[in-house]
Chains A and B, each alone.
Chain A
Amino acid sequence: AQSVTQPDIHITVSEGASLELRCNYSYGATPYLFWYVQSPGQGLQLLLKYFSGDTLVQGIKGFEAEFKRSQSSFNLRKPSVHWSDAAEYFCAVVWMDSSYKLIFGSGTRLLVRP
């Protein structure tokens, strides 16, 4: 079955610290991978995406993510977190054999300590 797992429900980091949010997927077909961010009361904003090529992708707001096929992972990273990064982050996957269906993880809520 197609599934996306974000194992951390909440993560708290201090401002200026580095961040890594985990995402794993299961299913054999080739994935298209996305990270979205949702601020309170807002819609989902696309941070970055991976389709092919370089497995390290850069996104907006200083975020990056690395696709590791052997680990079925697509972890999101940021070297130095800002207070404005506090939000909920969703990993999402479209598999090539179901070309439209975006499967979301359950989300990770990021809290930033001043």
Chain B
Amino acid sequence: DAGVIQSPRHEVTEMGQEVTLRCKPISGHNSLFWYRQTMMRGLELLIYFNNNVPIDDSGMPEDRFSAKMPNASFSTLKIQPSEPRDSAVYFCASRPTGTGSNEQYFGPGTRLTVT
């Protein structure tokens, strides 16, 4: 089975540009998470969706960040406008439905560099 798929794997953009990161969760998983990883702050949860509905977006840094999940197989994280401090690795993870186990499966990440 395919794992969590993220695209692009690498993104280099200039400050002020819009960036869109994409994620396809594992089929049948009903929970989706976006994380950001930096050296300074480690792994931070940005937003959590359950059944395509955002449940907790308290980790979203500011209004420049937005996330959507239009259907069970696709989610986007958008940064507009991007800033150099947004440079990080962004991970998407999904969780199985109703297992009660709470384990999350991570994608390979998108390395974002904002110059």
Interface residues of A (CB under 8 A from B): 32, 34, 36, 41-46, 49, 51, 90, 94, 99-102, 104-107
Q: Which of B55, B107, B109 contacts A100 (CB 8 A)?
A: B55
Kindly provide the distance from the CB of B29 to the nearest chain A CB, expressed in whole angstroms.
12
Chain B interface size range? 20 to 34
The answer to the question of B104 belonging to the interface, with a C-beta cut-off of 8 Å to chain A, is: yes
Question: Which residues of A are found within 8 Å of B55, using beta-carbon distances?
Answer: 100
Q: Do A49 and B106 contact each other (CB < 8 Å), given the known contacts A90-B43, A100-B31, A101-B45? A: no
B102 CB-CB contact with A under 8 Å: yes
Q: Is the CB of B102 within 8 A of A99?
A: yes
Contact between B102 and A104, CB atoms less than 8 A apart = no
A100 to chain B: which residues have CB within 8 Å? 31, 33, 48, 50, 55-56, 95, 102
Taking the closest CB of chain B, its distance from the CB of A50, in whole angstroms, is 10
Asked if A43 and B107 sit within 8 Å, CB to CB, the answer is yes
Contact pick for A49, options B42, B43, B93, B101, CB 8 Å: B101
Query: A44, A101, A107: which contacts B91 (Cβ < 8 A)?
Result: A44
B106 and A94 form a contact (CB under 8 A): no
Is the Cβ of A46 less than 8 Å from the Cβ of B103?
yes
Residue of A at shortest CB range from B91?
A43
